[in-house]
Amino acid sequence: MSVLPLTIQPNDILHKVSEDLPLDALDQYLSLGDDMVETMLENDGIGLAAVQIGKNLNLFTVNKDVTGEDEHWILCNPTITFQSKNTAVMEEGCLSCPKIYGSVRRPVKVRVTAYTLTGEKKIFKAKGLLAKVFQHEIDHLQGTLIMDKFEDGN
């Protein structure tokens, strides 16, 4: 495993919609997923999208400290299938936008369908911080940065 260089704003790739990974060839992304976890941890991140390391792919990681699981998650081709009407504002930062923080309003609960790199389809019901991380990373995959979502006054 190796730590990859982060893509820092301003950079056009951060504003591009990422491409789905082919479900019949996910194993070719295992090493990249491991490197992304290592990169996330080295930079004290709680999530990392592939676009943040210059790869325009629908692939992201979630830190096990957020999930409460034994392993970090490496997921691809996510879709948000439900968002609660209730929202909350939370200050967010981003590894690709160093030293920039602002208030972002997001649904407090989401349901996300995604795949593991072994091809397993998963459905996640997330609330609180995990819901925020899912939404933040999926925003990256859709070419959206946190400052695009800052509440007025930031």
Tokens of 137: 């990373």
Distance CA 52, CA 143 (A): 11
- 73 touches 38 (CB < 8 A): no
Query: What residues are annotated to the active site?
Result: 137
Tokens of 121: 């389809």
Distance CA 40, CA 4 (A): 9
